Amino acid sequence: MKSLREDALRIIEDSISSVLPERAVEQELRKLDLGDKIYLVAIGKAAWRMAKSAKDCLKDKVKGGVVITKYGHSQGPIEGLKIYEAGHPIPDENTISSTKEAVELAKGLSKDDTVLFLVSGGGSALFELPVDGVSLEDIKNVTDMLLRCGANIVEINAIRKRMSQVKGGRFALMASPAKVYSLVLSDVLGDRLDSIASGPAYPDSTTVEDVRKIIRKYDLKLPRHILQSLSEETPKSLDNVETRIIGSVSKVCESAKNVAASLGYNAMILTTTLDCEASEAGLFLAAIAREEVEKERPLKRPCAIILGGETVVHVKGTGKGGRNQELVLSAARGIKNCTGVVIASVGTDGTDGPTDAAGGIVDGRTATLLEEAGIDIDDALNDNDSYHALQKVNSLIRTGPTGTNVNDLIFILCDETKVREN
Ligand SMILES: Nc1ncnc2c1ncn2[C@@H]1O[C@H](COP(=O)(O)OP(=O)(O)OP(=O)(O)O)[C@@H](O)[C@H]1O
Ligand SMILES: O=C(O)[C@H](O)CO
Ligand SMILES: [Mg+2]
């Protein structure tokens, strides 16, 4: 009989593997007939792995292509493809030069050609060509402003896409009359395709009026020429695009549910769009865990209650940590002395905040162990120092960079232990 902790780590490993780029691309391409004149454009942090998988599947049907990923995320040459690395989360000169290569490729195609467009998180920074009158410096400054102002990714990208020749469906227009098949690894809650990497090949559901509201909401101070670029409308329909989501937090949660069930747990998915403050989420999960331990509801034990999403942390302290680590540290307070329960939370990309941890796992003893180690949970949370607190009691989860990036996986595991120790 494996421990709850061992089962938790197995669920994490197996569910993340279900959305690794290679596997996701290969499974989808098996279902598609893209003809034999395919031009590949891959953007985002998983671009190299998605492109490698596609090239291995399609072989000489791929007549050329451009891969643009984050520094340190490519793994060598791929025959027939041009591989570039560029800046993330702030675009740089390499972003511009490599995007120009992709645009040149797309603009020269005919109606018999197909663009296989492989999209993953981080694409907004890595795939960029400013509209006339907007400079790379403008893009850098506005990106930095947007990342700092507290806007969510849909709001951020509603603005970024209007400063760009290749976002908001405009890349698909460039490729026309060629057909564009997009395979997307979603890192946006709710899988809004016009927000993922700012939707280069997807009709834009945001409007100029939406942008005006965002500017007012965050009191953004933008120069006149930038405001001018934001007043241009984006394409609302495209006739040459097909899009498929091949990996998302929903898929990770479904996989986690299946793995938990295979391990004998009654499993349910509570939500795939959790997006509140991390420490509040931790207290909420602890309350659910206590309900299971003390009243065996909503599920019959042994059980697994699974959530997906991306919580937030408004960092005010000087400590080290990440939203997943903060969530479980906060949860540890609420399950103190509970037996037969663990709560785990990880970033599916394997990095949680500026740390080497993917997240953390706690149980009913964690709070006591921290006390014995002289660590006050509230103090640690106030200083945003979840990493050092969890490290002290062997509660960090490390996976290393996974190569995928589909938000966070959070879950409660309960075994059949009947009582709560007082
Ligand atoms: N000490 C800390 N404690 C808790 N959270 C922190 C701390 N430092 C940073 N963070 C949070 O980590 C977030 C960044 O997380 P991370 O580096 O995992 O990137 P991400 O949001 O997953 O984006 P990406 O798509 O690039 O992976 C910041 O937005 C911040 O809220
Ligand atoms: O690149 C981006 O815009 C974010 O990763 C969301 O997809
Ligand atoms: Mg991340």
> Per residue in 209-219, pLDDT tens?
999 999 999 99
Q: What is the mean pLDDT of residues 361-384?
A: 98
In what order do the strands lie in the sheet containing 303-309? 266-274, 303-309, 408-414, 341-347, 359-363, 396-397
Q: What is the mean pLDDT of residues 144-149?
A: 90
**Listed residue (164, 152, 173) closest to 125, CA to CA:** 164
The CA distance from 333 to 311, in Å, is: 18
Q: Using the 8-state DSSP alphabet, how is residue 151 labeled?
A: -
- pLDDT one-digit tens code per residue, 237-254: 999 999 999 999 999 999
Ligand 1 atom 14: the closest Cα is on which residue? Answer: 353
- Residue owning tokens 């000087």: 318
Q: What is the mean pLDDT of residues 223-241?
A: 96
- Residue owning tokens 């069930």: 261
Q: What is the mean pLDDT of residues 45-55?
A: 97
Q: What is the mean pLDDT of residues 340-365?
A: 97
Ligand 2 atom 2: the closest Cα is on which residue? Answer: 197
Please report which confidence band the pLDDT of residue 2 belongs to, taking 50, 70 and 90 as the band edges. confident
The conformational region for residue 86 under phi > 0 = left, psi -120 to 50 = alpha, else beta, is: beta
ipTM above 0.85, yes or no: yes
* Cα(17) to centroid(ligand 2), Å: 21
pLDDT of residue 417: 79
Q: What is the mean pLDDT of residues 223-244?
A: 96
A 10 A CB-CB count for 301 gives: 19
Give me the residues paired with residue 241 across strands.
Answer: 180
Spacing of C-alpha 193 from chain mean position? 13
**Listed residue (327, 305, 312, 317) closest to 390, CA to CA:** 327
pLDDT of residue 271: 98
The CA distance from 42 to 408, in Å, is: 23
Please report which confidence band the pLDDT of residue 11 belongs to, taking 50, 70 and 90 as the band edges. very high
The CA distance from 75 to 131, in Å, is: 31
Ligand 1 atom 4: the closest Cα is on which residue? Answer: 322
pLDDT of residue 150: 81
275 burial via Cβ count (<10 Å: 0-12, 13-18, 19+): middle
State the closest ligand 2 atom to the C-alpha of 123, by its place in the atom list counted from 1: 1
- pLDDT one-digit tens code per residue, 75-110: 999 999 999 999 999 999 999 999 999 999 999 899
Which protein residues are within 6 Å of ligand 1, measured from CB? 121, 187, 313, 315, 319-323, 326, 347, 349, 351-354, 384, 386, 405
- pLDDT one-digit tens code per residue, 295-315: 999 999 999 999 999 999 989
Helix axes 136-148, 93-107, angle to 10 degrees: 110
The CA distance from 104 to 266, in Å, is: 53
What average pLDDT does the structure give for the chain? 96
- pLDDT one-digit tens code per residue, 247-295: 999 999 999 999 999 999 999 999 999 999 999 999 999 999 999 999 9
236: Cβ contacts below 8 Å, ≥ 6 apart:
203, 204, 205
pLDDT of residue 108: 86
Using most ligand atoms within 8 A of CB, pick from 90, 120, 124 the residue to mutate for ligand 2.
124
Q: Is the CB of 196 under 6 A from ligand 2?
A: yes
What predicted TM-score, i.e. pTM, was given to this entire model?
0.90
- pLDDT > 60? residue 419: no
- pLDDT > 80? residue 329: yes
pLDDT of residue 1: 64
A 10 A CB-CB count for 144 gives: 12
The CA distance from 174 to 223, in Å, is: 28
- Stated as kind and residue range, the H or E segment containing 12 is helix 4-17
